[in-house]
Structure 1
Amino acid sequence: MKKLADLLLQRSLLFIVLIFTLSIVGVYTFLTIDQREIPETEVNLINVVTAWPGANKDDIEQNITNIIETEMFSIEDIEDVTSVSEDNVSVITLSLSDDSTPDNVLNDVNNLVQGISSSLPENAAQPEVESITNAFPLLSYQIHSDSFDNLESARDDIENLKEEVSQMDGVDSVTIKGYRDSEYEIQLDWDAMSVEQLNPNEIMNEIDSSLSPVALLQDVEDENIIRLSFEDTAALETLEQVRIGENRVPLLDVASIETVENAPEDIVQYNGREAISFTVSLSSGEDVPSVSENVEAVVNDGFKNLPDTVTVDNISSERENVEDIFISLYTSLLIAVIAVIIGTSIGLSLFGSITVMLTVLISIFIGLIPVPWLGVDLNQISVIGLIIALGILVDDSIVVNDNIERRFSLGDSKSEAIYNGVKEVAPSVIASTAAIVFTFSPLLLLSGANGDFIKALPSILISTMIVSTVLALTFIPAMRHVISSRKVPEHPGILGKAFEWGSKIYADKVLPKVLKRPLLAFIIILAVALLSIGLVRFTPFEFFPEADRSEVTIDLIFDEGQTIEQTHESSQEILDYLLREMNHVENSSIFTGQGLPNLFGASLDQAGENTAQIALQIDKEQMSASATIDEYESELQEAFPDAKIFMETIIQGPPASAPVTVEFYEEDLNILDAAVGGLTDLLENEEITVTSNIGNSVETLQYSIDFEALEENDISISQVKNELNMMSEGIPLQEVIENGSSKELSLKYSDEYDLNNIEIVNMEDGRPVMYPLSDFVTVEETEDTSVIQHKNGERTAELQVYAADEAELETLISKYCEDLESSTEVIVGGESSDQTDFFVEIGILFSVILILVYLVIAFEFNSLILPLIIVFSIFLAISGGIIGLFVTQTPISFLGIMGMVSLTGIVVRNAIVLIDFIELRRKDGSVNDIYQAIYESGRARFKPIILTTVTSILALVPVALSGDVLFEPLAVTVIAGLAFSTLLSMIATPALYYFYYKFRYGKEK
């Protein structure tokens, strides 16, 4: 070890140059690392979507969903399989395990789907497999006008702009909402068909053949190759020339071709005007500012080409959000740097404080180099991690530098002072750093969205702490060696005399009194700490706080069965009411149908024609978003009791589920629907808001087929189903291309025909015989849900419940479940349950952390009892954190809990340094008795302990005073916990060590 130290000192200058070179790489990493507002949350989901036009939900479930679902369970790394079977389509969602490789699973799913496609119904579409990305909106615009015709005239320009932006680097997708599509509908005249003795299948086959492209390939003439092609003909012109049957009956003799406007997926309105939403989503792992600047340049140029009758407003810019947040965070970071400079200068010599500060900054920059490879970008959490790092990185440097200067003051030569100064504290510095690394490493194992959200904090702290320790043990000695003078001021630092005075008071006054009555001192401290734990009951709780933003969103859910136009009209009434009541609304948007394009953290779980979302931009200086919700949500619910209304604002954390969810598992659909409906009615009678993932039952016309009648008359089931399809939605044909865009085409009976005036044609003895369709089908009016849900192969339904008194709610649910069928399984979960799961998980991780810290200290001191003294300071830190939250009435939150976990590694350093010095003095025989060893340890370690604590607190004060509701709990917890633990552990640690010494050695000398 001595030879290695001599080698380092001999090449000090070269080593310093190497370190500065590495720091330049770190600076480059800091300037080029991707930036975003919040950490990117991993979304490990795959969708398998299979369309079967004309099929009802029961057929979809039996013939598509069940077949595909069963096979999916054979694929490794799939954690959950959920599905939705509804009319015309099956959607199966696969949730992947956290340790899976999404690309590999996606390949497995694709291969499996291709293998079972032949088992699906012949006229079902090929299943589409897609990976769901965690892309989020980068920019969103409202393109609005007084007339929708003006917006329609700009459609081609907007579609072209969408195509251009979609192909840009860093862009995941572009979403346009608000346009309405139309289709061609061939409406058959059944009577005319009957006269001409035609059937729908003949007509359908002839239309398909006429519209299908034909490859003529090429011909050879005079040894020259000539390409053959058809002249393009408009689809309508082609359809008008279609002839059917042996008599070549023109299509238009038995049908009319109508242009029918489809029910729009979305109706968008902005400040009372017709609007089109244009939203650009960012790809995963991309830098927000740089991608946004490129996209904005292209989009702004594209919007200049729009007609003057159209206006464009930007309603969301992630770049602006990131810039605003980072200005605030960088300000706090700069203040923290200044605070650390001040903190080090008050107790160290000028050269010592400069060396320490350089070491801290270099540690930050070099520690950032591996961060991008850890999957961490620059966001709110990672910048806060840098601020915390500033406060704790300084500890190693201060301890090493202070001990070198202490050796100088004892008369050591320069080389001896550097070597002995580092050697004395190296074990405690390494042990305390290992404790911090082991403290934060388990946080990387935190599961789900919470783990992704907090991942940046432990990643940055671990990497920077390791670098800091290495530099404290190498860079500081090298810096000391290149300075020829070893002269140290008698009282280094601005408050050097004060520290000298404090160390004497502590060693000569406080410690003798503590050791005179160590049991009493310990009992008093333990009592204070235990009592402070009880303050949790009087401290507010908020898992993730609301962001201080100006956006408020309103989810609207109306009764199922109404049209999207009716929903939009009702939504307008609600918005008009709000605008009359609220004076601080600056802009408003309505998204009827599928809802907002993932803006402002809002989304609709069960979107449809009966749902809408309103987005309000308010003047938060007049009234904050949370105050707006508190004042108007209940009023709005009372004014519009026919709608389910939820007002929300952006939450600074991962998306949360409903407060309470109730999952029902039951194979019998009738029993399942009855169970869900019964609980829904019970809760709504108690004025509790309830939503369901299968929706409410709606009026349904249920067709029943008389199979005996079919068999008697030799009529096939497919014939009956085809006729019913032709009466309702019709049978989709191939899409046609018109003016460069595709248009759907369908074949159906004219609306004047129904069950009573359609006949089925059947051939008997070579003669066509007509049978009324009503002979084989009866119609019953009933109620039914629109979808069938599965979870892991079982039929299920889920209620989302929003109640003020969750304890009373659980009692109601529990009592209701007592009368359910024995075959029905009920699972109650939700946000409260998720939070409970988090606390259980963090409790387990915290236990692991305590064990790891204990083992590090046990290894350092070669003792199983001594580490218990040091671990006691963790209890004091947590108690102090709770006191700080209570006094300031700062809510206990997710990051508050993270602050308490962080304290586990931070506070043990002081106790380690203190006990390490006692053990060192006791073993080298330089003191006469244990009392003297404890006094000398207090004298030598008082300044570095107080100095590191003050510096760490100063670094976090700007965050605590910033007003940022997300990070205040973390800062307050660490500041209060560190201060409380430092002050009390400086009394408790010597007292406990005294008991340990008496217990182990049974003597005082």
Structure 2
Amino acid sequence: MRRVFEASIRRSLLFIILIFTVAIFGVYTFLTIDQREIPETEVNLINVTTAWPGADKRDVETNITEVMEAEIFSVDGVDSVSSVSQDGVSVLTLELSDAVESNDVVNAVNNLAGGLSGELPENAAEPEVRSIGTRFPLLSYQFHADERAALDDIRSDLETLERDVLQMEGIEGVTVKGYADETYVIALDRSAMVEANLNPNQILTEIEGALNPVILGQEKTDGDIIRLSFQDEVPMSVLEQVRVGSESVPLSEMAEIERQPADPEDIVQYEGSPAVSFTVFLASGEDVPSVSREVEAVMDEGISGLPDGIEATNISSERENVEDIFTGLYMSLAIALIAVILSTSLGLSLSGSVTVMTTVVLSVVIGLIPVPWFGVDLNQISVIGLIIALGILVDDSIVVNDNIERRFTLGDGRLDGVYNGVKEVAPSVISSTLAIVFTFSPLLLLSGANGEFIKALPSILITTMIVSTVLALTFVPAARYLLKQRKVPEYPGLLGRLFTRGGDFYADKVLPAIIRRPLITFLTVLVIGALSLGLIRFTPFEFFPEADRSEVTVDLIFDESQTIGQTHEDANAVLDHIKNEMPHVEASSLFTGTGLPNLFGASLDQSGPNTAQIALEIDKTKQSASETIDQYEAPLREAFPEATIFMETIVQGPPASAPVTVELYEPDIEQLNAQANELESMLEEDGALVTTNLGESIPTLTYQIDHQALEENGISISQVKNELNMLSAGIPIQGIIADGEPRETTLKYSGASTIENTEIVRMTGAQPETYPLSDFVEVSETESPKYIHHRNGDRMVELQVYAEDEAAANETIESFRDELPDSSEMIIGGETSDQTDFFIEISILFGIILILVYLVIAVEFNSIVMPLIIVFSIFLAISGGIIGLFVTQTPISFLGIMGMVSLSGIVVRNAIVLLDFIEARRQSDAFDINEAIYESGRARFKPILLTTITSIIALTPVALGGDALFVPLAVTVIAGIAFSTILSMIATPSLYYLYYRIRYRK
């Protein structure tokens, strides 16, 4: 082994050149890796949408939804199925397993849907299957003008701009909101139709025949093939020329073709002016800044060509957010790097300091090379991982470098000093690194969105720590050998004398006092650590904090029966009130209908004509987003009791559900709806705010067909349904083109026709017989929900509960559960439950981490007791982290918990190396047990203190930087390392001494 080492070390220059060459690839990775604000989380969902125009929601449920659900579970990779049936459409949402490719499942579902087409209603559309990806908004513009007509004039320009952007690489989609399409209605005059002895089916057949394309094919002439084509007319003019019936009656004589504006899905305004929203979405795995700059160039060119009077305002730019965030993070990274340089110079010689500093930088750079293979990009979490890495990477280099210098001081030659210095500490360095790797590896198994969110942290730390250890055992000795410096200063470093005196005081005064009363010392430390755990009750909790942003969104939900026009008017009243009451609002946008295009983390679970969202830009220097919500949400609800109102801001983490959700399952739909309404009323009486996926019941006209009357008069049920359809929604006609665009067109009776004056015609001979439609249909007025929901094939209703007193709400829910019949089932979930599941999962992973760390140390020391001494430092580190959070009143959060898990690997390093030194000296027979402990403390005092100082200084900019997401992590690690270092330097020797006395009976 020594020969191999000597052969390698004599080629140190070549090896160092090789290391720097590899580092170039790391620099390239850093410069080219994709950047984004937060980690990208995958949404593994598929939607299957089947339209059935004019059908009632119960018919949709029976004839489409249940037919699809019965077969969909046969597709491999489908974990669960949720569905919603409503008038005219069925939507199934498939949640896929993490291990499957969504494209494979999409193909399988498409094949399944094709095979089921024969079982679906004849006039139902083909099911549409599409994968739902994470739509990440890159840029959002508001095009606004004083008059709506000016925006209508630029519609074609925006459509051209939309096509240009969609063709760019890195773009997933573009959403344009604010325009309403036009529709055409072929309004039949029923009296004229009856007079001409025609029925709707005959007219529909003639219309479709006129619209169908003519296929002429080709013919051969004198050996040449000639393609035949047909010069068709503009479809709208074709409709006007259609003739129907044996008398070839012009369609225009029995119908009016009416051009009508369609009901808009969205009404958008910006600062009170009519507006059109134009939002660009980034494709998965793309770099935010580079793609954004390219899109902005195209947008700027398109905007410059718009007429006067049109203004374009960029209300959201992810590039600006990323650049602002990374400016602060890179500053913290630079400060951390400077902190490493300064702190190492405090206790190391110039050559040692330069070697350690270079090793740390190379470890970070080279450690980045494999990161993209983990599916990790450069985001807030990965940069924080680099900052944490800088604080702990110095450990290996300092330990190896310090021991090499110690060997030089003891008189070893240049080669012997390097070899012996590495040989003595290599086992403990490798073991401590394995402990860190085993600490962070289980975090890669964290499930769900939380696992995707934090994935970058363990990935960065694992790769950089492995590289750091390799370089500490290779690059550091090579550099020290190449520097040819055997003479080590008596007091190396700026504070070398102080470190030496501190080590002497620790070895000569502190350690003797500790081992004189080891049990009392250990118990004192144990009590201090245990008492500190109780501070968790007095420490605030916030799973994910709000972002330091200036956007606040206001969700508005009005009565289900409202038109979009009425909702827009009501939403403007709310907006006017907000502007009058909130002087720090700088700008506002209003989206009535489907709501914001996934901006600012805002979304509406069930949007429609009765919903709206307001996006406010506030001056956060006057009042933060959370303070705004706390002050104004309750008064806003009091001022507008007719609306359900939520004020929200951007949260730095995966999307969260309602604090409490309740899923009710019951086969009987009437009973299910009644249960949901009863529980909703009970919770609202307790002061909770409740929304449901049923929505509010809306006025409904129910048509009940008299089947006995149909049989007596020989009338088919399809005739009655067709007539009702023609009186209401009508029959859609495909293929109408107007102004170069496809337009929705419907064939229906004119407004003069009603159920009372419409007759059903039955051909019995030469003269048809007519029967009043009202003889076969009874109309009743009721109220019913708009939706029927299923989950995994069972009818269900979900309630979202927002309560200040969650304990009281849960008590009400539990009491309601006790009264449910045996046929019903209740499942309680929500954000609170999700957080509980996370703590259970992280506790299991933490247990696995402790076992892995224990096994590594057990192998290193060949002992089953020694690892317990070292693992005790983890307990002290967690206690210290809680003390730090309590003293600073920093909330315990997701990343605070991650900080505590991180400490598990970080703090065991000092204890491993310290005990390794003690064991080596004890087994050499040159020292008795007391001297072994004293001299090991003297040798390890400076490296332990130096690495602790470096870690703390590196993370201090993050702790003081003010970013609420990372402050808990930084505070936890800083306090945990400091507390653990101080107390473990007391507890570890005392525990080891107790172990020695018991083990060897001395």
TM-score interval (norm. to shorter): over 0.9
Rounded Cα–Cα distance in structure 1 between residues aligned with 2:420 and 2:743: 83
For 1:864, the equivalent position in structure 2 comes to: 864
For 1:244, the equivalent position in structure 2 comes to: 244
Q: Is the 8 A contact 2:236 2:736 kept in 1?
A: no
Rounded Cα–Cα distance in structure 2 between residues aligned with 1:389 and 1:271: 46
SS of alignment partner, residue 26 of structure 2: helix
Rounded Cα–Cα distance in structure 2 between residues aligned with 1:372 and 1:559: 49
Change (3 A) 1:760 1:221: same
Q: CA deviation at 1:183?
A: 0.7
Rounded Cα–Cα distance in structure 2 between residues aligned with 1:809 and 1:485: 72
Q: Is 4-13 or 441-450 further displaced after alignment?
A: 4-13
Aligned residues: 1002
Rounded Cα–Cα distance in structure 2 between residues aligned with 1:766 and 1:917: 113
Amino acid at match of 2:374: L
- Cα deviation code 1:118-143 (max 9, x no counterpart): 22222211111111111210000000
Q: CA deviation at 1:766?
A: 4.9
Amino acid at match of 1:821: P
Q: CA deviation at 1:225?
A: 4.6
Q: Is the 8 A contact 2:57 2:787 kept in 1?
A: yes
For 1:990, the equivalent position in structure 2 comes to: 989
SS of alignment partner, residue 820 of structure 1: coil
For 2:673, the equivalent position in structure 1 comes to: 673
Pair 1:56-2:51 in alignment: no
- Cα deviation code 1:833-882 (max 9, x no counterpart): 11000000000000000010001101110101110000000000000000
Q: Is the 8 A contact 1:854 1:867 kept in 2?
A: yes
* Unpaired runs of at least 5, structure 2: none
Rounded Cα–Cα distance in structure 1 between residues aligned with 2:224 and 2:434: 81
- Cα deviation code 1:887-936 (max 9, x no counterpart): 00000000000000000000000100110000111112221x11111001
- Cα deviation code 1:464-501 (max 9, x no counterpart): 00000000001111111212231111111111101100
Q: Is 30-39 or 770-779 further displaced after alignment?
A: 770-779
Q: Is the 8 A contact 2:135 2:598 kept in 1?
A: no
Rounded Cα–Cα distance in structure 2 between residues aligned with 1:282 and 1:947: 45
Q: What root-mean-square deviation, in Å, do the aligned CA atoms of Structure 1 and Structure 2 show?
A: 1.1
SS of alignment partner, residue 494 of structure 2: coil
Amino acid at match of 1:323: E
For 2:507, the equivalent position in structure 1 comes to: 507
Q: Is the 8 A contact 1:34 1:287 kept in 2?
A: yes
- TM-score (normalizing by structure 1): 0.99
Pair 1:771-2:771 in alignment: yes
Rounded Cα–Cα distance in structure 2 between residues aligned with 1:116 and 1:878: 58
Pair 1:727-2:721 in alignment: no
Q: Is the 8 A contact 1:78 1:96 kept in 2?
A: yes
Q: CA deviation at 1:822?
A: 2.2
- Cα deviation code 1:36-87 (max 9, x no counterpart): 0000011111111111112111111111111111212122222111111111
Amino acid at match of 1:738: A
Rounded Cα–Cα distance in structure 1 between residues aligned with 2:114 and 2:774: 40
SS of alignment partner, residue 405 of structure 2: helix
Q: CA deviation at 1:99?
A: 2.4
1:803-814 matches, cutoff 5 A:
803-814=803-814
Q: Is 750-759 or 454-463 further displaced after alignment?
A: 750-759
Q: CA deviation at 1:824?
A: 1.2
For 1:492, the equivalent position in structure 2 comes to: 492
- Cα deviation code 1:233-261 (max 9, x no counterpart): 22221111100010101111111110111
Rounded Cα–Cα distance in structure 2 between residues aligned with 1:264 and 1:918: 78
Q: Is the 8 A contact 2:961 2:967 kept in 1?
A: yes
SS of alignment partner, residue 620 of structure 2: coil
Rounded Cα–Cα distance in structure 2 between residues aligned with 1:931 and 1:603: 66
- TM-score (normalizing by structure 2): 0.99
Rounded Cα–Cα distance in structure 2 between residues aligned with 1:266 and 1:81: 29
Q: CA deviation at 1:434?
A: 0.3
For 2:202, the equivalent position in structure 1 comes to: 202
Q: CA deviation at 1:20?
A: 0.2
Rounded Cα–Cα distance in structure 2 between residues aligned with 1:483 and 1:654: 50
Amino acid at match of 2:428: S
Q: CA deviation at 1:601?
A: 0.4
For 1:119, the equivalent position in structure 2 comes to: 119
For 1:525, the equivalent position in structure 2 comes to: 525
Pair 1:280-2:280 in alignment: yes
Q: CA deviation at 1:805?
A: 0.2
Amino acid at match of 1:506: Y
For 1:334, the equivalent position in structure 2 comes to: 334
Pair 1:739-2:739 in alignment: yes
1:380-419 matches, cutoff 5 A:
380-419=380-419
Q: Is the 8 A contact 1:53 1:88 kept in 2?
A: yes
- Cα deviation code 1:367-403 (max 9, x no counterpart): 1001111100000000000000000111000000000
Rounded Cα–Cα distance in structure 2 between residues aligned with 1:595 and 1:742: 25
Q: Is the 8 A contact 1:553 1:615 kept in 2?
A: yes
Q: CA deviation at 1:219?
A: 4.2
Amino acid at match of 2:580: R
- Cα deviation code 1:808-851 (max 9, x no counterpart): 11111222233333211111111111100000000000000001
1:23-172 matches, cutoff 5 A:
23-172=23-172
Q: CA deviation at 1:147?
A: 0.9
For 1:644, the equivalent position in structure 2 comes to: 644
For 1:466, the equivalent position in structure 2 comes to: 466
Amino acid at match of 2:252: L
For 1:981, the equivalent position in structure 2 comes to: 980
SS of alignment partner, residue 682 of structure 1: helix
Rounded Cα–Cα distance in structure 2 between residues aligned with 1:608 and 1:762: 41
Q: Is the 8 A contact 1:98 1:448 kept in 2?
A: no
Rounded Cα–Cα distance in structure 1 between residues aligned with 2:694 and 2:167: 37
Rounded Cα–Cα distance in structure 1 between residues aligned with 2:739 and 2:303: 22
Q: CA deviation at 1:227?
A: 3.8
For 2:876, the equivalent position in structure 1 comes to: 876
Amino acid at match of 1:350: L
Rounded Cα–Cα distance in structure 2 between residues aligned with 1:867 and 1:808: 46
- Cα deviation code 1:953-974 (max 9, x no counterpart): 1100000000111000000000
For 2:686, the equivalent position in structure 1 comes to: 686
Rounded Cα–Cα distance in structure 1 between residues aligned with 2:673 and 2:753: 33
For 2:301, the equivalent position in structure 1 comes to: 301
Amino acid at match of 2:332: S
Q: Is 610-619 or 764-773 further displaced after alignment?
A: 764-773
1:233-272 matches, cutoff 5 A:
233-272=233-272
Pair 1:891-2:891 in alignment: yes
- Cα deviation code 1:68-123 (max 9, x no counterpart): 11212122222111111111111111111222232322222222222222222222
For 2:192, the equivalent position in structure 1 comes to: 192
- Cα deviation code 1:717-743 (max 9, x no counterpart): 221111111111111011312232110
For 1:948, the equivalent position in structure 2 comes to: 947
- Cα deviation code 1:649-677 (max 9, x no counterpart): 00000111001111101111000110011
Q: Is the 8 A contact 2:236 2:737 kept in 1?
A: no
Q: Is the 8 A contact 2:666 2:824 kept in 1?
A: yes
For 1:703, the equivalent position in structure 2 comes to: 703
For 1:654, the equivalent position in structure 2 comes to: 654
Pair 1:431-2:440 in alignment: no
Q: Is 505-514 or 124-133 further displaced after alignment?
A: 124-133
For 2:355, the equivalent position in structure 1 comes to: 355
Rounded Cα–Cα distance in structure 2 between residues aligned with 1:72 and 1:15: 59
SS of alignment partner, residue 634 of structure 2: helix
SS of alignment partner, residue 19 of structure 2: helix
Q: Is the 8 A contact 2:360 2:393 kept in 1?
A: yes
SS of alignment partner, residue 268 of structure 1: strand
The alignment-based identity, stated in percent, is 66
SS of alignment partner, residue 597 of structure 2: coil
Q: Is the 8 A contact 2:211 2:735 kept in 1?
A: no
For 1:557, the equivalent position in structure 2 comes to: 557
